[in-house]
Structure 1
Amino acid sequence: MQFSVIGFIAALNRETEKIRLNDGYKHSITGFGFHDVLIETPVHNMPIALLPLNHVTDIIRAYKRRFIELYSDTRIGHVIIFKNHGEGAGTSLEHPHSQIVGTPVTPFQIRSRLEEAIRFFDITGECMVCKTMSEEKKDGTRIILETNHFLTFNPYASLSPFHTWIFPKRHFATFSEITDDEISDLALNLRATLAKFYFGLDNPDFNFVIRSNRPKDATSEFFHWYISIVPRLTMSAGFELGSGMFINTALPEESAEFLRKVEAPEQP
């Protein structure tokens, strides 16, 4: 069983009034928002990779429920679901948990991704994620695993070693539209992917993020939600900070081949 609690180190405050402030070139907004911690299991040091499948399914259901609840507040601009696993990934709480944050604005990085998806759609008439998935399946060298509703692979332009994406095969723009069957299949896929990290990479620190559009944009043709997982095996430094480009010391084809060969013990 898992439950959601108010973030004890909350970055935002749900009691604060949302007020925009403008003073010349200086623009700001008060720290209104929601910052929840989702306790994934009562068992200390039990990662998702080792949890029973029905437990992982419950976690994803809790993600969906809270995602919808936060977006029902019209003051919220964006909701992000993420997990920091290990000190190298920025965790400040050792007990297994995820975080769900509702911000009063849509962050610049999110707007940039949406704008790039729109540009791609305007040029090609296709969803960028659907096109990527189609080409990755044809190539096959970067695929890690495939389940009924999801494809897991290392993108050809991976940011870092073992950078991994999980794409839903069905086109839908927002995580709020995931079905019960897809939740069950995502639990299977996500646990299997993280188990390959756990046993193949010796339980590395990692971050994962659910990248999704808003529920009110559920009919969007150009955006397609997905999960990004970044194992923290290397450190970004001055070049990455100064250029916005990333040096990856591992070929994604070799990373995917390695992970495909990892055989995790069967879990209930």
Structure 2
Amino acid sequence: MSRPETNKTRILLSDGREFVYYDDRPGIDRTAPDRRGLEPHNPKSEIRYDPVLDDWVIVAAHRQTRTNLPKASECPLCPTLQGAEYLSEIPADDYHVVAFENRFPSLGGSSGGLEVLEGTIHTKPGVGRCEVVCFTSDHGSSFVKLPQARLRTLAAAWVDRTLEMSKYPGVEQVFVFENRGAEIGATLDHPHGQIYGYPFVTSRTARALASAERWQKAHGGCLFCAIVSEESQKRIRVVRETEHFVAFVPAAPRFPYEVHVYPRRHVPDLPALTQAELDELMALQVDLLERFFRLFDKPIPYMSCWHQAPVRVGRDLHHLSLQLISPQRAPNTLKFFASSESGMHAYTMDVLPEAIATRLRDI
């Protein structure tokens, strides 16, 4: 697999957190130090097992004090300008793409806690990793405004962080995502996403792998490949197709606007894609988000979720996919997940998925 060399520079912030610059081109000086003099970084979280739903829940009480929608002049993801009084998370006065350990992580920090197993109670230290990935130094920009060179750098960062995070002790699954919009809980306006390294395989992935295994035993082959082939042939829910990818509204979506993107080739994760496939995929993601924005002639809140294979299990069964979702169901109305959805996990769609696909396709 041929890819251009990643222009990568690693430093440490003043509290010991790892910080990595990813640049569009080589030769940029990234030696500016973090001048804040922060206390050593050692957050403590734990994971607790739910024996009823066979699931793990993350408990991270220190996140209650995390930064929430600061004014632009105090944005922690903007570069630290020369002579400025405010010192952000970014030591440099400009940057292309950066990835660094979250100051208020859900997972990570000290792994010195004890595992507790008493009756139905099962608690473990919240080992793992949470990172922030900033797409650009421009506070007023967004993912859809990134030029092609920056999209390539961002894709390189996602690939590199997936590979690196998969090596960390205790990490079982790497999740790349973006939350955009205060309506869905994004606490910073600056264009950024996150990467989680979970110390367990998430329940969604575990269910998907179980379904894939049942399909393989009953029919042979890959469940996800079968879905992609069927959607591509029927074309009633397809929004866009490219040489290497198919984007479609799933037959049973859970959000008012939801599009899944699958590679035609069976691959487990982002690092398995070629450079040509990555370039095509990033451009396709921009196109789909622009269609979301043109639904109501304004940017709408959305989530981008990259579903990658776990680090150690089910890698032959899993199939990389991108899930783009928005709770916006009308120009000024959000879809709320009330009692049926939140209490019973029984979801209701207010519009036919085929009509949603037609609308997105025709934009």
Q: TM-score if structure 2 supplies the norm length? A: 0.69
Q: What's the CA shift string for 1:88-116, capped at 9, x where partnerless?
A: 22211110101001122222222122111
1:111 maps to 206
Partner Cα separation in structure 2 for residue 255 and residue 45 of structure 1: 30
1:229 maps to 324
1:211 maps to 307
Residue 192 (str. 1) matches residue 192 (str. 2): no
Which amino acid counterpart does residue 119 of structure 2 have in structure 1? G
> Given that residues 128 and 169 in structure 2 are in contact (C-alpha distance below 8 angstroms), is that contact kept between their aligned partners in structure 1?
no
Shift of residue 53, structure 1, vs aligned partner:
2.1
Partner Cα separation in structure 1 for residue 208 and residue 198 of structure 2: 17
**Any residues of structure 2 matched to 1:12-31 within 5 Å, and which?**
12-17=107-112, 19-31=114-126
Partner Cα separation in structure 2 for residue 18 and residue 113 of structure 1: 31
Partner Cα separation in structure 2 for residue 192 and residue 169 of structure 1: 18
Residue 256 (str. 1) matches residue 357 (str. 2): yes
Which amino acid counterpart does residue 155 of structure 1 have in structure 2? P
Which amino acid counterpart does residue 210 of structure 1 have in structure 2? W
Name which one, 1 or 2, has greater alpha-carbon Rg. 2
Q: Alignment length, in residue pairs?
A: 261
Which amino acid counterpart does residue 152 of structure 1 have in structure 2? A
Shift of residue 176, structure 1, vs aligned partner:
2.4
- Where does structure 1 lack aligned partners over 5 or more consecutive residues? 263-268
Partner Cα separation in structure 1 for residue 351 and residue 148 of structure 2: 31
Residue 7 (str. 1) matches residue 102 (str. 2): yes
Shift of residue 18, structure 1, vs aligned partner:
6.6
Identity across the alignment (%): 24
Which amino acid counterpart does residue 212 of structure 2 have in structure 1? A
Which amino acid counterpart does residue 300 of structure 2 have in structure 1? P
More displaced 10-residue stretch of structure 1: 42-51 or 162-171 = 42-51
**Any residues of structure 2 matched to 1:64-103 within 5 Å, and which?**
64-103=159-198
Residues 10 and 47 of structure 1: CA distance in aligned 2, closer, same or farther (over 3 Å): same
More displaced 10-residue stretch of structure 1: 195-204 or 152-161 = 195-204
* Correspondence for 2:157 among 53, 57, 62: 62
Partner Cα separation in structure 1 for residue 109 and residue 163 of structure 2: 16
Partner Cα separation in structure 2 for residue 225 and residue 39 of structure 1: 23
Q: What's the CA shift string for 1:146-172, capped at 9, x where partnerless?
A: 122111110111112221101011111
Give the aligned CA root-mean-square deviation in angstroms: 1.7
Shift of residue 20, structure 1, vs aligned partner:
3.0
Q: Which has the higher helix share?
A: 1
2:50 maps to none
Shift of residue 74, structure 1, vs aligned partner:
3.7
Partner Cα separation in structure 1 for residue 214 and residue 114 of structure 2: 32
* Correspondence for 1:130 among 215, 225, 230: 225
Partner Cα separation in structure 1 for residue 118 and residue 125 of structure 2: 14
Which amino acid counterpart does residue 251 of structure 1 have in structure 2? L
Q: What's the CA shift string for 1:119-169, capped at 9, x where partnerless?
A: 111111121111111111111111111122111110111112221101011
- Larger RCO (alpha carbons 8 Å, 6+ apart): 1
> Given that residues 160 and 250 in structure 1 are in contact (C-alpha distance below 8 angstroms), is that contact kept between their aligned partners in structure 2?
no
* Correspondence for 1:51 among 143, 146, 152: 146
Partner Cα separation in structure 2 for residue 113 and residue 18 of structure 1: 31
Shift of residue 259, structure 1, vs aligned partner:
1.2
Q: TM-score if structure 1 supplies the norm length? A: 0.92
* Correspondence for 2:267 among 156, 161, 172: 172
Partner Cα separation in structure 2 for residue 18 and residue 59 of structure 1: 35
- Where does structure 2 lack aligned partners over 5 or more consecutive residues? 1-95, 329-334
Residues 85 and 224 of structure 1: CA distance in aligned 2, closer, same or farther (over 3 Å): same
**Any residues of structure 2 matched to 1:238-249 within 5 Å, and which?**
238-249=339-350
2:128 maps to 33
User: What is the DSSP-based 3-state SS (H/G/I as helix, E as strand, rest coil) of the residue aligned with 1:80?
Assistant: strand
> Given that residues 18 and 75 in structure 1 are in contact (C-alpha distance below 8 angstroms), is that contact kept between their aligned partners in structure 2?
no
